Amino acid sequence: MSDINLLTPGRIGGMATRNRIMMAPMTRSRAHEDGVPSDLAITYYEQRASAGLIITEGVAPTAVGRGYARTPSIHSAEQIAAWKKIADATHAKGGRLFMQFMHVGRIAHSGNRYTAEPPIAPSALRAAGQMWTDANGLQDFDEPRALETGEIPGVIEDFAQATRNALAAGFDGVELHSASGYLPMQFLSAHTNRRTDAYGGSVNNRIRFVVEALEAMIAAAGSSGRVGMKISPGIVFNDIQELDPVGTIETYTALLKAIDPMQLGYLHVLQSAFPNTFEALRPFVSVPFAAGGGFTHETGDAMLAAGKADFIVFGKPFTSNPDLPVRFEKSAPLTPFTPDTFYTPGAKGYTDYPPL
Ligand SMILES: Cc1cc2nc3c(=O)[nH]c(=O)nc-3n(C[C@H](O)[C@H](O)[C@H](O)COP(=O)(O)O)c2cc1C
């Protein structure tokens, strides 16, 4: 056992963090239709600056990567300028932020997009399920178009350009969202990736997209410590079917072995269907290991003290407790979160939770 706890200072790449608490990436659907984050997001993020690291909501690197209503992007000058206001305000409060890149791939509906381009995916397989649209309520996912092999370098370059854009906006780094059934995970999972070229089939081929995207993001950032990644092996979400624990852990072990020499700023793992995901993957990760999914003050401290993680990621508790680390420090009660306002427009349930 060590004496490290949630409030112990930490380090990500060359950056010191004031504690071991990360705010989880959380889509809050308060951006404008054109992918520009609203000014409300300035308040929302600066209110949460006491986190050791804020990981932003999922941000689309390109217009084709946006799938949900009122979610933000980072490809236009206007979007970059709006994100800069958010980064500046959060930094002024002593906060640190990484921007999460969420390319939805096939998890999209045309009613939520500001491009006429169809969604792209490793294979032309429509995801089972529905998503919310403001105009017509719940709708089936659109059928995606399968990427041509020759188009993949361009998609990877979009992640590199988004990295340059996020750093130009003043962000401390970027996170590749390879979890939750979005584009990178659609390449990782055999169920969604039926390709027969170098990006599909064998484990080494299925991890290729993620490896190349990280390489491009690191080159764009000029430092691997400014790049993190989120994974969620075996998650049951967005029609991902990684049902076989052995094969799934084999895929992720191969991925982690391939990327460990890159020395990312951190690896962020969401606990999902399999009980021992953290224990199974940790031996292959020599960079800071950030564990997330259902943690409390007590279980987070215990995980750090046991050396099973270096950071703990908190999601839902941060929605209703903007000063969550301060509350942990003072052992103050937490305000319960309100799922009804997770994705609704406006300040209600977003910026109106007071600090202690
Ligand atoms: C409202 C909401 C939105 C979310 N949006 C994202 C997202 O954009 N990107 C992502 O990687 N995870 C997203 N998640 C998952 C969280 O990052 C986190 O992994 C999950 O909530 C588990 O942590 P918790 O139990 O501490 O909430 C979201 C979760 C919630 C509650």
The reply to whether ligand 1 has any atom less than 6 angstroms from the CB of 344 is no
- Where are the alpha helices (H) located in 268-333, listed in sequence order? 277-281, 297-305, 316-320, 324-330
Distance from the alpha carbon of residue 197 to the mean position of ligand 1, in angstroms: 33
Residue type, 76: S
3-class secondary structure, 51? coil
Residue 268 · residue 313 · CB < 8 Å:
yes
Does 244 score more than 90 pLDDT? Answer: no
CA 235 – CA 223 distance, rounded (Å)? 30
With 0-12 CB in 10 A as exposed, 13-18 as middle and 19+ as buried, what is 164? middle
CA distance 78 to 114: 15
Of 327, 266, 353, 355, which Cα lies nearest the Cα of 6?
A: 327
Of 237, 271, 316, best ligand 1 pocket probe by most atoms within 8 Å of the beta carbon: 316
Q: How far apart are CA 342 and CA 154, in angstroms?
A: 33
How many Å apart are CA 218 and CA 199, to the nearest integer?
A: 20
pLDDT in tens, 147-179: 999 999 999 999 999 999 999 999 999 999 999
pTM of the entire predicted model: 0.98
The pLDDT tens digits for 285-300 are 999 999 999 999 999 9
Average pLDDT (209-221) is 98
Q: Which residues are CB-contacts of 34 (< 8 A; sequence separation ≥ 6)?
A: 76, 78, 79, 114
**198 C-alpha to ligand 1 centroid (Å):** 32
Does ligand 1 have an atom closer than 6 angstroms to the CB of 57? Answer: yes
> What are the tokens at 230?
């989120």
Lowest mean pLDDT among 110-119, 139-148, 271-280, 338-347: 271-280
CA-nearest residue, atom 30 of ligand 1: 26
Residue 177's pLDDT is 98
- Long-range residue pairs from 134-137, CB within 8 A, at least 24 positions apart, any chain: 134/69, 134/70, 135/111, 136/111
